[in-house]
Amino acid sequence: MILPINIKFNDKTPKFYGEESGKKPDEMYDGDTLLENNFSTRARIGVDKITKAFTVYPVKGMTGSINSNFYEFLTMGNVPYIIGSITLMSIFNAYKSYAHRDKLRASQLGNKMALGVLFYGLFKEFSKNFIDKPVKWFTGIDTQIPYARVIHQLQQSPQDSDLTSIEYHKIGESVDFTRWDLLYKKTGTPEHNLIFDKIAKKNGLGENLNDSDQEVKPIYKEVLIKSNLARTISSYLWAAVGVGLAFQNSWKHYFKVMNFKIWQPKVFAHSIKIFGKSALKATESFLNGKEKSKSIAGKHSGKILLGTALASTILGLANTLHITKKPSKSNIKSVMNDKKETVVC
């Protein structure tokens, strides 16, 4: 006889702590904890990840810690991104020892390159909102909800006492192992399925559903996958738009007055003002192309690139919002045929 497999869930109810608990971030997680998806949280997570990517994780990795994991490896992926950007900027700005005229010419290209690297990152990150925000507005599904994951590490030496580490993940970062459990509210309360209820209502599945979670999960997963595709492809194309903008000649006006000395407000304000003007002119020349160019590519390459980025966003968004995995409306009556004999086991 094959017995059903009894899976023992951890009875411990996940504890949720709000900001009012007054605990410090690292102390407040008894277990995996859903976090608010707001600027403050994102900034805190970003700082935490970058800091650890440059400090804790490399040390753990280089010492061969048994507690190193895939999350740490992925987080360390920020290191080549940041150092690579700086190196790339340095390669094109390594002209300190050149003769004056050469230095001047090299610096023009170097500055453009540096701006290109910067715009690449900014446009790539910011453009993700073009997908995430509309998806949230239209489906009620926030694909970027963060949560703190508590890791209980193995003891490597008898002296090890602080064996808990916090990782920051997103509910939907895995479509195969989505953290549905964190989306439920307190067991046994009417709010248990609150998040799923809201999404079900938003997507026209109805209200007061007995199993809104079961109805919503396929939709949620579909949106996660499709929005991931749209976000990934479009963000790289928007990054290309950023690089294209950075390579316009009009930035030379800004490079002449470029200044980051915030403690000199007048000079800094002037620099920002010229940045704005240069940005406008750069946008104009990016869209209008080379004046005397006879080729279509020369004249319209900017428009084509922008159009491609826009199209990828719109198509990606349309595909994401076109949900195909909604549960069927069929009810039990249509499935069960009263006239036929049915065996229920």
Partner 1 sequence: MKTNLIQAYQTGNSPILQKYKSDKAAKDFDINKELSTHTFIKPLPGNGHLVKTNIFDIPSELFKDFKYSLNSVKHAITGDANDHELGKINDVGMKLGGLAIAGYLATRKQTPLTKVMEFVGLTSFFAAMDIWPKLALQLPAYLIHGVDVRQQYVDNYGRKKFFYQDHQFIPWDLYSDDEINKIGDRLGVDKNMKNRRAYIQEKMRKIALQNNTMWMLTSGIATPILSALICNAAEKPILRLQEKMAAQKANDLLKNVTQESQKYKFKDENKQLEALLETYKGKNITPEFIEKLSANLSEWYDIGTRAKLKQDLTNLFGNKNYNVDDEVLGNVYSALKDEFKKFKLDDEIINQIMPSKDEIKTSFIERGLLTEGIKDLSEHKKAINSLITRNVKTYAQNNPNSSVNNILNMYIKNLMHSKNKTDFSPLEKALRSNQSAKLTDGIISQIHSINTLMHGFISRVFVLDKYAYIRAAQAPETMLADNWNNITESLLKTFNFTDSEIKKSRLDRTFAGDILKEKFEKIVSDDELYKQTIEDLRKKLSELPTENVFGQESEQLKIGNAKYQSMVDDVFNAMGKKLSELGLDSTAAAVSGYDDSGRTSLKGIQKNFLTDRIRGVKSSFYRILNTLDFYRRVHEGMNFNSQTFKYLDDVSKKELLDLCKKTLIDGHLSDYSVKLYSKRSLDHLANTADKDLVELANDKNFFKAFMEIIYNEELNSKTLEGIKDTVFGSDFARYREDIFKFLGGYEYFPKRFHKVFDYEVKSGSDFKFNLLGSSLDEMFNNLCKQKFNSTKWLKTFGTIGAVLTAGTVLSQFFFGKLPGKENS
Binding residues for partner 1, rule: CB under 8 A, are 1-3, 5-6, 57-58, 61-62, 64-66, 68-70, 73, 76-77, 79-84, 86-88, 91, 94-95, 97-99, 102, 106, 174-177, 221-223, 225-226, 228-229, 232-233, 235-237, 239-240, 243-244, 247, 290, 295, 297-298, 301-302, 305, 308, 319, 324-325
Among residues 273, 285, 286, 284, which one has the least CA distance to residue 242?
Answer: 286
Give the shortest CB-333-to-partner 1 separation in angstroms: 29
* Terminal-residue alpha carbon distance, the chain: 16
Closer residue to partner 1 (CB): 61 or 276: 61
Give the shortest CB-343-to-partner 1 separation in angstroms: 20
Closer residue to partner 1 (CB): 41 or 69: 69
Give the shortest CB-91-to-partner 1 separation in angstroms: 5
Closer residue to partner 1 (CB): 150 or 194: 150
Instruction: Encode 132-179 in three state secondary structure.
Output: HHHHHHHHCCCCCCEEEEEEECCCCCCCCCCCEEEEEEECCCCCCCCC
Reduce the DSSP state of residue 3 to 3 states and report it. coil
Closer residue to partner 1 (CB): 173 or 213: 173
Give the shortest CB-229-to-partner 1 separation in angstroms: 4
Q: Which residues of 137-158 are buried (b: 16+ CB within 10 A; e: fewer)?
A: eebbbbbbbbbbbeeebeeeee
Give the shortest CB-59-to-partner 1 separation in angstroms: 9
Reduce the DSSP state of residue 33 to 3 states and report it. strand
